[in-house]
Amino acid sequence: MSKSLKVLLSIIFLALLAFLILIFSGSKIYTDILWFQHLGFLHTFLVMFFANFWIRIVVGLIFTIFIFINLNFTKKAFINYINQRNNNEDEDIETIFEERGRGIINWLNQRRLSVIYLLGSIILGFLFSSISQDVWKIVLKYLNKTPFGTTDPLFNRDIGFYIFSLPFFNFIKEMGMVLVILTIIIVGIIYILASGINTFQDVTGKLPNRAKSHITILVTLFFFLKAWDYRLSMYDLLYSPRGVVFGASYTDVNANLIGLKILFVIAIAIGIILLTSIFRKNYRVLLYGLGIWILATFLLGNIYPAFIQRFQVEPNEIVKERQYINYNINMTLEAYGLSDIKTDSFQVKNSLNQESLQKHNDIIKNIRLWDSRPILSTYSQLQELRQYYNFINVDIDRYNIDGEYREVLLAAREMDQTLLSNQAKTWINQALKYTHGYGLVMSPVNRVTSEGLPEFFIKDIPPQSSVDLKVDNASIYYGEKTDNYIIANNRSKEFHYPMGSENVYINYEGTGGIQLNNIFKKLLYAFRFSNIKFLLANGITTESRIMYYRNIHERVRKVAPFLQFDGDPYLVVANGGLYWIQDAYTTTNRYPYSQPVNGGINYIRNSIKIVIDAYNGSMKFYVIDESDPLAATYQKIFSDLFVAGNEMPEVFRQHIRYPEDLFVIQSHLYSTYHMKDPTVFYNKEDLWNIPEENYAGNSIQMQPYYIISKLPGAAEAEFILMLPFTPATKNNMVAWMAARSDGENYGELLVYNFPKDNLVYGPMQIESRIDQDAEISQLLTLWSQRGSRVIRGNLLIIPIEDSILYVEPIYLQAETSELPEMKRVIVSYDDNLVMTQTLDQALAAIFGQLPEEQINQMEKEQFVQIPGNISELATRAVDLYNQAQENLKEGNWSQYGETIQELENILKQLRDMSQNQGITSNQEVSSQ
């Protein structure tokens, strides 16, 4: 093969390789553009893309130009070295280079050396530009910064300086120092090689004055940058972990800060002296300056601060650190939105009676008897209906249903393609056929059927609603399990839902996804997803729409990677359709003196609520906290992304709730930071804990829970998120925190403190009382020994007027089944503790017979279709069996499954009633 043919083939191969790289990377970028444009967020994409692109270009250019200019200064020394070697005929070439190395030297001339320098500079510039991928966020926030209106206590600068400006300055400084140090190393190596230096002692003797001057200038620039580094490091002391609290401590202020100021002056002075040494040709000053700087850094940066800490602070730490502890307390409370928390005392008198219970019937009828953890298994067993459907989690919300304010549990029935049989996992099925989930289940938190199962407000396929809440469009194309792309509205039609022995098919009629209306788009997506079937499949038409980034967790992060997101987006039924609400947070780790949590963040606001259409995938980012400077800055940067909070439709505003993730962070911090006196804080004299509870036989930390309750002094019941506190070393309850979610009170935090001279039972004390109750313990133990698993649900602490009510549901689950059934309710009030089948029975046992009207209402609400005796259950079982046989003959498989399920529940209840009678008989025999 001739040389020219080899060159031609190499060119063709490289061109083809470049084309393929361009096509694959270009298809990803262009389809992302189509995706953002479809959502109406094209400006957001362009800002993120070009900000990242141009910052990398600028960084790369600066590195390339700076390195190339400095390399050009070495060119003369390198050429002189080549000429000297070429003219020295007496020297044995083999002692310098091999013959090939001699050829390279002869090949190098000034022009070729310039080309090599330029290529080397471009490569280094490209490599170092890649380290700035996420810097676009820092740069854009700096260019669009918003003042906080508050200042730090040490330097008296606006907080915005530390969050927006200081990170930008640190980035510029770090890039500058990396560039200068890299250049010093490169040109130093070139000068050493070109000067024939073999030992360190030869540096001052053999190194040309031009080289010494060049390196001195670079070192001078390094010291000026280092002086700037010392200046910025003074501000970084506000994030020091040295003291008893986060932030600048006594040692930081009285030793490190002084040391940084002195080092700042030393660095400037050394830089100036080095500049003057260039004209005096006294290059030993460079070595002296480096020595002085290293010694000063060691003394002022390590020895002196350690001395101050050891001999001034530690002997009298609280006195020295008191001021800085106070800074930390105030700034932490401000950073986490706890500075405006309202506190009040809660005098426990336990004065509830029948009349007060009737007065607060809106609270009683919304006491949650269903824990979201076991009910997920119950939902799965009763309502998934087909193998490919899946309930990911259960959400808690509130609705106005049939004129009443009700707390409910609901879950979306999503399509999980991983549950398809292996034979069904074809591209046609996964991309064109099984495209979406369908429907939801909703049940009230307090209703239980006679079989111990939840009663449903909305259930089945298609959704059947027993209340005034209707679902007209139940398709779920965007959810928490929609992980792959699909092509909707295709010739083969999409599976909609099963109906008996047949299936219903539809074509998508919404606006979600990108329309594949030309061959160019099909080609792009074929490259993006590496699948030629986009071009070959007959089922794809010009009306077909491809949907990707369908998982709502991924979807919101793709649009807004600069936000943090709550871990639990929740389903909302509104306008006859299904929507998701996702809470988003603005965060930073640069808030002065604020205590970091969760990987380093030390400022957080739930400023943004995102509403996502489960059918079309459209998203609205509502800014509900206009006072957040970070949110205001993002609004300036991404003008097409955010919508003012007052534009949120009322149908969604009724369902915004205080996010649990934020509440967890705030409650954990407040358990320490409620101590505002520095001395008390230092000694941890009043430290609180998040209590534990017994769940399914294990002690776990109590999680915040949503309830409908009436806060002290409030006019009506409302939806709140609450959590109790206990002292650090005790189990009694000392306080409880609540976050409001309704109306204009949204976001308000309250803490109610119990009197320290009265015992208020904590969760674990109630759990212990349950364990120590002979009758309750006997029944739970008996159930556990008969092939069943007893699950003790979420212990709810419910404040009513000046009293505390404790409620814990008990579930029973067979070892061979995943269908938990609610069997008992334990209620504790004051010194009373009872366990009964229903909540109203428990309340009647404690407070006496309730008014008949309220009993009827509670019976209706809590225990539906209560059978009179075993005979009635047996009769019902026979009827269900006969009905199931009729369904089997008719081929009505859906109704057959429901009938068999109800029959199973009846049989289980007959078993339980037999067990209970056995227990009663044993107790009677024992008493005799």
> What's the pLDDT at 236?
96
pLDDT at 894: 59
Which pLDDT band, with edges at 50, 70 and 90, does 140 fall under? very high
Token look-up 């824990």 returns 371
Give me the torsion for CA of 860, 808, 910, 853, rounded to 10°. Answer: -20
Write out the two tokens for 4. 């020219």
Between 634 and 92, where is the model more confident?
Answer: 634
Task: Mention every residue, 6+ apart, whose C-beta is less than 8 A from residue 311.
Answer: none
The whole-number pLDDT of residue 896 equals: 66
Report yes or no: 760 and 831 within 8 Å, Cβ to Cβ: no
Cα–Cα nearest to 232, from 298, 285, 157 = 157
Residue with tokens 């029935």: 413
Which residue did the predictor score with more confidence, 566 or 104?
566
> What distance, in Å, lies between the first and last C-alpha atoms of the chain?
110
Beta-strand ranges (E) seen in 614-748 are 619-623, 642-644, 688-689, 692-695, 698-701, 705-709, 718-727, 735-740
Q: How does residue 923 score in pLDDT terms, banded at 50, 70 and 90?
A: very low
Tens digit of pLDDT for each residue in 37-47?
999 999 999 99
What is residue 26's predicted lDDT score, i.e. its pLDDT? 82
Nearest-5° angle of CA 79, CA 84, CA 85? 100
The Cα–Cα gap between 118 and 490 comes to 54
- For 418-519, list the strands marked E by DSSP: 437-438, 440-444, 448-449, 458-459, 464-465, 475-476, 486-488, 494-499, 502-506, 514-515
Taking residues 137-149, report their average pLDDT.
Answer: 96
| pLDDT for 897 beyond 90 | no
Token pair 């007052």: residue: 646
Distance of CA 692 to the CA centre of its chain: 24
Q: What is the DSSP string of 871-921?
A: HHHHHHHHHHHHHHHHHHHHT-HHHHHHHHHHHHHHHHHHHHHHHHHHHHH
Can you tell me the distance from the alpha carbon of 35 to that of 515, in angstroms, rounded to the nearest whole number? 10
pLDDT of residue 699: 87
**895 has pLDDT over 80:** no
Q: What tens digit of pLDDT does each residue of 679-720 get?
A: 999 999 999 999 999 887 788 999 999 999 999 988 899 999
Could you give the CA distance from residue 769 to residue 129 in angstroms, rounded to a whole number? Answer: 65
Cβ atoms of 209 and 93 within 8 Å: the answer is no
Identify the pLDDT of residue 20.
64
Whether omega for the bond prior to residue 462 falls within 30 degrees of 0, making it cis, is: yes
pLDDT at 3: 67
User: Within 10 A of 713 (CB to CB), how many other CB atoms are there?
Assistant: 7
More confident residue, 2 or 858: 2
Residue 18 confidence (pLDDT): 67
User: What's the pLDDT tens digit per position in 571-615?
Assistant: 999 999 999 999 999 999 999 999 999 888 999 999 999 999 999
pLDDT score of 85: 58
**pLDDT above 80: residue 644:** yes
What is residue 94's predicted lDDT score, i.e. its pLDDT?
45
| DSSP one-letter code for 2 | -
- The candidate with the shortest Cα–Cα distance to 39, out of 483, 489, 488, 513, is 513
Query: Mean pLDDT of all residues in the chain?
Result: 87
Query: For residues 528 and 735, what is the distance between their CA atoms, to the nearest angstrom?
Result: 56
What share of the chain has pLDDT > 90, as a percent? 66
Q: pLDDT value at position 101?
A: 47
Write down the residue that tokens 């915040």 correspond to: 704
Tens-digit pLDDT profile for residues 404-453: 999 999 999 999 999 999 999 999 999 999 999 999 999 999 999 888 89
pLDDT score at 499 = 86
Of 1-5, 83-87, 666-670, the least confident = 83-87
pLDDT level of residue 866 (50, 70, 90 thresholds): very low
Question: pLDDT for 75-122, tens place per residue?
Answer: 877 677 666 655 554 444 444 444 444 455 555 556 677 888 899 999
Q: pLDDT tens across 169-191, in order?
A: 999 999 999 999 999 999 988 88
